[in-house]
Amino acid sequence: MATALGSIHSDFIASGAASSVGVPPSISKKVSSDLREATHSTLPRLESLFTPAQQYVEQVLASDIYPRFVRHQITTAATLAMASHRERFKGLGDCFVLTDPQ
């Protein structure tokens, strides 16, 4: 975000910008000052707004979504192995139980 704001300022607002939109120097200085403040103070504080949501998503991934994904992958791999090698796993393809060893 800071990079995008800085790029907009240097490309369109700053004096001597290649694609200047003709902002007066007094306004350009104010924008520059406000961008510095946003970059050093406001934006870092905004990142902390999402910390609880990030922690919740990480917890859900670790405790629910990832384990279900792993179980699905193991079940699919076992089913394919038994279907492809029926003579090797006689009878196992007909009844297969995957349990949690805990």
> Could you read off the pLDDT of 31-77 as tens digits, one per residue?
888 888 888 887 777 778 888 899 999 999 999 999 999 999 998 99
44 and 31 part of one domain: yes
Cα–Cα distances in angstroms (integers) from residue 77 to residues 14, 48, 68, 82, in the given order: 59, 41, 14, 9
Which of 25, 49, 73 is a domain's end point? 49
Residue 84 has pLDDT above 70, yes or no: yes
Residue 6 near residue 39, CB atoms below 8 Å:
yes
Q: What local confidence, expressed as pLDDT, does residue 95 receive?
A: 65
24 and 59 part of one domain: no
Nearest alpha-carbon partner for 17 in 29, 31, 7, 2 = 7
Which residues, 6+ apart, have CB-to-CB distance to 39 below 8 Å? 2, 5, 6
44 and 65 part of one domain: no
Q: What local confidence, expressed as pLDDT, does residue 99 receive?
A: 82
80 and 102 part of one domain: yes
Q: What local confidence, expressed as pLDDT, does residue 67 receive?
A: 94
Measured between alpha carbons, how far is 30 from 87 in angstroms, rounded to an integer? 78
How many domains are contained in the chain? 2
Residue 17 has pLDDT above 70, yes or no: yes
Domain carrying residue 97: 50-102
Which of 13, 34, 49 is a domain's end point? 49
